[in-house]
Amino acid sequence: MGIISPAERLTVPTDFCEPVEAGLLTVDLSALVSNWRKLASLSGGAECGAVVKADGYGLGQAAVMRALAGAGCKTFFVANLLEGETARALAPEATIYVLDGVVPGCAPRLAAAGLRPCIGSFAELEEWAAAGATLGRKLEAALHFDTGMNRLGFAPRMAADVVARARGIAPTLVMSHFVSSQLPADPINARQIADFLPVRAHFPGVLASMANSSGVFLPEKPYFDVVRPGYALYGGNPTPGARNPMRAVAHISARIISVRDLSPGDTVGYDGVWKAPRPSRVATIGAGYADGLPVSATAAPEKPAGEAIVGGARCPFVGRVSMDYVVLDVTDAPKGAAERGQWVELLGESIDVEALAARARTIGYEVLTRLGRRYARRYAG
């Protein structure tokens, strides 16, 4: 199936079966690959890996990994053992790092799948070395140093001790994680880089990695040997406050299943939180918070509501976002666009993930990773 235009996405092309579901998620794999190639081109010759945790940020780990591997991506990062085992089945020759590290008891399965845990404690180090001794070989791993996140990782001052105690494993990567790379003027970025440089010096010949999506755009250019973008691959903006340099990957459409006219004063939805200020026309679409639309996109005083594109017009959510439904005020939509069976855009070219997240007072990462499984899914490109 080729790339389909935004207009085609909204009308659902007739060259494939009309989905019986009331929601449609189209994943533009060519845009995903384009984003990966763009990030690779900006990374100063460093290898560009890909973070594919949380089911490929909600878009489908299998499709995402196949597309990226086909484009040349050779290194993937996942969160946990189960994601790693899935990744190994999808990409038998890839290098796969597990960000959780060595969770107690997981070492045998990590080793069996050829996964490389990101080790950040001496307890993990000992468990991984012991697993290698049982197998009669040194097992590969990343060594994670905490330069400010205070979440996972060795303290930088421990670098010499880590070198001494890591002789039972085979380090292939030394890494850290930015706290505020999306804020290029934040001085913590430069401080973290300064703290990481002496750590890296303790591991000559071992690859180093620090830059996430936003890290690729920092003025300090902290590319080192491997960059590991995630959010930007999937169309998220790695440069908040500036134009998004990435292409949209996720496109969500929903079908109108009911339309009705309201008189002034009529309310909509649970608790009657919205009251029609004029004669109004409203449309109910078959998607709600069970499909990943944030309940916080509900209209509230002094807060913008979520929106949908109906026939080219922006139509706000009215009433509460409920489990299965959202109601739209389509009073000002073009005639004929807001009718039963028509498709409306919730996420895509006109409403990007940042805009939807802002109107729900959340972040785009949450929007993507909570996309529901009830959507019909189309993979384009």
The mean predicted confidence, pLDDT, of the chain is 93
CATH level 3 topology of 250-380: Lyase, Ornithine Decarboxylase; Chain A, domain 1 (2.40.37)
Tally of residues, the chain: 381
Q: How far apart are CA 47 and CA 342, in angstroms?
A: 45
For position 196, what pLDDT does the model report?
98
CB of 168 closer than 8 Å to CB of 129: yes
Pick the CATH number of 29-234 from 3.10.200.10, 3.20.20.10, 3.90.470.20, 3.40.190.10: 3.20.20.10
Residue 280 identity:
S
User: Is residue 58 packed enough to be buried (19+ CB in 10 Å), middle (13-18) or exposed (0-12)?
Assistant: buried
Catalytic residue among 53, 57, 223, 234: 53
For position 302, what pLDDT does the model report?
72
Residue intervals in the chain for CATH 3.20.20.10: 29-234
For position 15, what pLDDT does the model report?
44
Tell me the per-residue pLDDT of 112-158, one tens digit each, with 9 for 90 and over: 999 999 999 999 999 999 999 999 999 999 999 999 999 999 999 99
What's the whole-number mean pLDDT along residues 246-258?
Answer: 96
- Cα end-to-end distance, the chain, whole Å: 6
For position 300, what pLDDT does the model report?
74
Tokens found for residue 158: 């421990």
- Greater confidence (327 vs 22) lies with 327
- Percentage of residues in the chain having pLDDT higher than 90: 90
270 is catalytic: yes
Tokens found for residue 229: 């973008």
Q: Is 33 left (phi over 0), alpha (psi -120 to 50) or beta?
A: alpha
Residue intervals in the chain for CATH 2.40.37.10: 250-380
Q: Residue 5 — pLDDT band, cuts 50, 70, 90?
A: very low
Catalytic residue among 231, 234, 270, 335: 270
Q: Which of 142, 227, 140 is nearest to 178 (CA)?
A: 227
375 is catalytic: no
- Run of H or E residues at 274: strand 274-275
pTM over 0.75: yes
